[in-house]
Structure 1
């Protein structure tokens, strides 16, 4: 029995700061995905919405919100929230429904209208939320958190600010080729170095923005795709939404000594590495089988960390991989051919879905100037706070 599902259609609303409702962005993306799939909205048996906590009550019931916006036709509705992993969990829910025989065609939609500036916990005081505690007890806004990671890489692996700038230069060049990206200007290392320091050693151009945007997928059973005349569809082979294993933490922040921290052996595998391992095991593939990867580059230093966590290189060798050009177009394993969050910014519920849009275009050979020659397999990776894993393996 196959556990693959077909990606019949993909669609996006361009990222930016448009000042409109997330519902509009998601509806535009959904209609584009339906058109791409050649599927009528009335033939969709289920819609899964990735929730946004910034969209008021409609954002908490995104599946029903998008079903209403597209026109009532009786489809099942599901709404999921997992912070930055919401899109991947929406895909996991859709895939489960298809494999269980509950629906042959499922529409997955995520969209956001983000506030200006740093993200902050929504919904008031939440002392049981590690994200809220990070802000209130440590004063660690997201850029401060990213800066700690960057400093750790510099101390442990010898990475340099120049290495971080190389990530931005690579991703900006690819974003310049992507019509859905918010930032479409090429950037030089000198421009990165001249931008303002936000959280030392990271500068403004090392850190992704917050954005509006939307993305959608039409997923189906393999049998339905073949009846539609799609003999070799792009297929989702695995979805990893694992949680940490003690004594790992949800945040994998640099160690802060506590009684419990010194009472157990240190973790042998970082949480992000376990996300990737689970995806590979389910897919029956390894990093050596990949043609490309889309990773969660909240900061330039975090992209380098993902190289290691995905097994694209050994621990401590990410900067070397980057310097060799292996993760650039034409390299052994291009990373963030879409331009990444460096070019898009964060539209939280949409970003894991947008990563799958890029992999689908690449595996179809339809990515234009960004095309990776002969792309046959790819992986997405990001992480939601409170311990939500997110990785999807796609093949053709």
Structure 2
């Protein structure tokens, strides 16, 4: 039977049949080249012929001209027109997660049995500047234009807040980089593949006080792809116990906490209203847990969007791995390192990869899949059964993907 559309999903689960990546770096080539390489690797890993793919979902890049805005069709064309449905999504750093959500929805609706999801980027040098023209109703645009708060400055404000409220220190932040660099040194797809010491972090140039160069992720070229399928197709394909996407969270903020950590620059007032029940990042994880019927205590590992070292500590709390203000304790005690109770960013994270915006959430799920398959080599988390990947994008985009085996 064709892989176009016979449905047959088991509940809300879809199978991850294949993963593929193009190594991160600054290669100076088209995002299309990177994405096609990742797609072909994912198809080969899945043992699926391109002609049997029923749909392609592309995570858009705003830096690739028109082809970047219609990434689904761009990748379908590059792989060879064969009649597949196409869809393109953009959600900044959450683009990959939303692409997975779109693919999963098509599978569960019976529109396709096999969906290829691809994200790729060719990033500029330095930090990302605002794209898309003037947007005075966008709090993130206002952050750039009115405050002059580029992404590194934004990360520095969060770090300063954690220091003031929780008593954390630059030394605590440096331990996150040390941990992630140690894992990234074991990952052949990572851009930076050498261990780093806390002394090296402290000696690197200040970018946005208190954060130094090695506290902040780079911008990178890179690509990642997944082959997702219905559970029925996986069984017919001879895969009885695949890694499964159990939940995808794409929630938006709850008023009045509409801009994480900097509510007062929002265009709607944060004054005179009761606080939201949880932060935006916490709500991303909570929605994934609730959909999956799984709690943070069941996690084997997590991949989080460590745009800065301080932000990774915040994610520990938002994921429910510890209480508020306890993130630094976890990294000091080795809880989130390889060999710890709940390893975080065993891929090496953005600290080791840099940011290739539409690809990173997909790369996170690639890592979780390999971990749950038991094929992660020297980075393997023993007995991994449940993993979560979380991201936060501009303008209220969030993404959380929970995978199980």
**Interval of TM-score (by shorter of Structure 1 and Structure 2):** over 0.9
Contact 2:114 2:229 in 1 (8 A): yes
Map 1:67-146 → 2, pairs under 5 A: 67-146=76-155
Contact 1:8 1:234 in 2 (8 A): yes
| Correspondence for 2:214 | 205
* Unaligned ranges ≥5, structure 1: none
| CA positional deviation for 1:328 | 0.6
Aligned-residue RMSD, C-alpha: 1.2
Per-residue CA deviations over 1:75-94 (Å, capped at 9, x if unaligned) read: 00000000000000000000
CA distance in 1, matches of 2:262, 2:398: 15
CA distance in 2, matches of 1:155, 1:130: 24
Contact 2:263 2:270 in 1 (8 A): no
Map 1:246-261 → 2, pairs under 5 A: 246-253=255-262, 255=264, 260-261=269-270
3-state DSSP of counterpart to 1:138: coil
| CA positional deviation for 1:333 | 0.1
Q: Cα–Cα, structure 1 residues 174 and 56, in superposed 2: closer, same or farther, change >3 Å? A: same
CA distance in 2, matches of 1:257, 1:226: 49
CA distance in 2, matches of 1:388, 1:135: 18
Greater shift after overlay, 307-316 or 249-258? Answer: 249-258
| CA positional deviation for 1:185 | 1.1
CA distance in 1, matches of 2:139, 2:37: 34
Q: Cα–Cα, structure 1 residues 67 and 193, in superposed 2: closer, same or farther, change >3 Å? A: same
Equivalent residue for 1:221, pick from 211, 230, 234: 230
CA distance in 2, matches of 1:268, 1:375: 31
Map 1:179-328 → 2, pairs under 5 A: 179-253=188-262, 255=264, 260-328=269-337
Per-residue CA deviations over 1:122-149 (Å, capped at 9, x if unaligned) read: 1222222222211100000000000000
Per-residue CA deviations over 1:138-175 (Å, capped at 9, x if unaligned) read: 00000000000000000111111000000000000000
Equivalent residue for 1:28, pick from 22, 30, 37: 37
Per-residue CA deviations over 1:187-207 (Å, capped at 9, x if unaligned) read: 000000000000000000000
* Unaligned ranges ≥5, structure 2: 1-9
Contact 1:251 1:385 in 2 (8 A): no
Q: Cα–Cα, structure 1 residues 141 and 42, in superposed 2: closer, same or farther, change >3 Å? A: same
Per-residue CA deviations over 1:261-304 (Å, capped at 9, x if unaligned) read: 22212223101001110000000000000000000000000000
| CA positional deviation for 1:257 | 9.8
| Correspondence for 1:172 | 181
Equivalent residue for 2:60, pick from 51, 65, 75: 51
| CA positional deviation for 1:254 | 6.0
Taking structure 1 as the reference length, the TM-score comes to 0.98
Contact 2:187 2:193 in 1 (8 A): yes
| Correspondence for 1:386 | 395
Matched, 1:376 2:391: no
Matched, 1:163 2:172: yes
CA distance in 2, matches of 1:118, 1:166: 23
3-state DSSP of counterpart to 1:382: strand
CA distance in 1, matches of 2:131, 2:195: 34
Taking structure 2 as the reference length, the TM-score comes to 0.96
Matched, 1:343 2:355: no
Per-residue CA deviations over 1:37-86 (Å, capped at 9, x if unaligned) read: 00000000000000000100000000000000000000000000000000
Aligned structure 1 segments of 4 or more residues deviating by more than 6 angstroms: none
CA distance in 2, matches of 1:107, 1:194: 43
Q: How many residues align?
A: 396
Contact 1:148 1:254 in 2 (8 A): no
3-state DSSP of counterpart to 1:169: helix
| CA positional deviation for 1:259 | 8.7
CA distance in 1, matches of 2:264, 2:199: 33
3-state DSSP of counterpart to 1:84: helix
